[in-house]
Amino acid sequence: MKQLITLTLFLLTLTAFAQKPCEYSVNVNDSIGSYKVTNEYLISEKNFGGNSSYVFFSLAQTDGLPTLNLQLIQKSKDFIKANCFDKNSRVFLQLQNGKVVTLMHINQENCGTLIRDSGFDNRVNTGIFMFVKDNYEELKKSPITMMRIKYLTDTEDYIVKSEITSEMNGKIYNPDTYFIQNIRCVE
Distance CA 89, CA 160 (A): 19
State the pTM of this model: 0.85
Give the residue from 50, 45, 89, 49 showing the smallest Cα distance to 68. 89
Distance CA 87, CA 21 (A): 34
Residue-level pLDDT at 9: 46
Local confidence pLDDT in tens for the 187 residues of the chain = 555 454 444 444 444 445 689 999 988 888 888 899 999 999 999 999 889 999 999 999 988 899 999 999 999 988 888 899 999 999 999 999 999 999 999 988 999 998 988 888 899 999 999 998 777 889 999 999 999 999 999 999 999 999 999 998 999 999 999 999 999 999 8
Q: Is 4 exposed, middle or buried (0-12, 13-18, 19+ CB in 10 A)?
A: exposed
73-112 core/surface letters (b: 16 or more CB in 10 A; e: else): bbbeeeebebbbbbeebbbebbbeeeeebbbebeeeebeb
Residue-level pLDDT at 117: 84
Residue-level pLDDT at 2: 54
Residue-level pLDDT at 86: 95
